[in-house]
A and B are shown apart, each in its own frame.
Chain A
């Protein structure tokens, strides 16, 4: 089947760096996206990796290794406002997004 696995919860300290991993099993996989969702809010797009390597957008970076079926989202200089759930999503052979269950990021002062 097609699935994306990510940790259910990650805790980090304000100002630190945190990495949220995502492993996937999809046929015809064609890219990995990351979305952020605050409690009660809508998911918002953060980053997309079509090819292997690192994509950087400000404090956020995303990495993809297609040979390892693995990606991660890296958040630097954590701020309290980064407390949210983070979802990875991968495109399958039917060009549909398959979503991970989400990782709740808890940031402590």
Chain B
């Protein structure tokens, strides 16, 4: 157990739908990162929050949004889902904002049918 908790572990939904993925960072970590990993692909950075504020944005689609709450948990919202959104979504956390050492959660596997 890495200390980073992601829910749900698996999610199957239909095109056009909206889902919310949740992440609780490791205790003491202020920074949360979201990554997307499609089958046999690398990690695509989506967005980062630090202590409740957006710190960096990667290749995140406009249909996707995220936020970090006062208790530091974060949610990634995916809307108007397309088949190509099927992927593993990882949350990672770190103590600082510019960290080289990230602790990843187990991921949420999203399947869009």
- Residues of A that sit less than 8 Å from B by CB: 31, 33, 41-45, 48, 50, 87, 89, 91, 94-97, 99-102
Contacts and interface: CB of A to CB of B under 8 A. Distances in A.
B48 A96 contact: yes
Contact of A87 (B42, B56, B106): B42
Given A91-B100, A95-B97, A43 B42 contact: no
B100 A42 contact: no
Interface in B10-38: none
Report the contact-size class of chain B (Cβ under 8 Å from the partner). 20 to 34
Nearest to A94: B56
30 contacts: A31-B100, A33-B100, A33-B101, A42-B104, A42-B105, A42-B106, A43-B43, A43-B92, A43-B102, A43-B104, A44-B104, A45-B101, A45-B102, A50-B100, A87-B43, A89-B100, A91-B98, A91-B100, A94-B98, A95-B97, A95-B98, A95-B99, A96-B45, A96-B48, A96-B56, A97-B45, A97-B99, A99-B42, A99-B43, A101-B41
A71 to B, nearest CB: 12
A99 B45 contact: yes
Interface of B: 2, 41-43, 45, 48, 56, 90, 92, 97-107
A49 B90 CA distance: 24
B4 to A, nearest CB: 8
Contacts, number: 49
Given A91-B98, A94-B56, A96-B98, A45 B42 contact: no
Contacts of A97: 45, 99-100, 102
A41 B56 CA distance: 25
B109 to A, nearest CB: 8
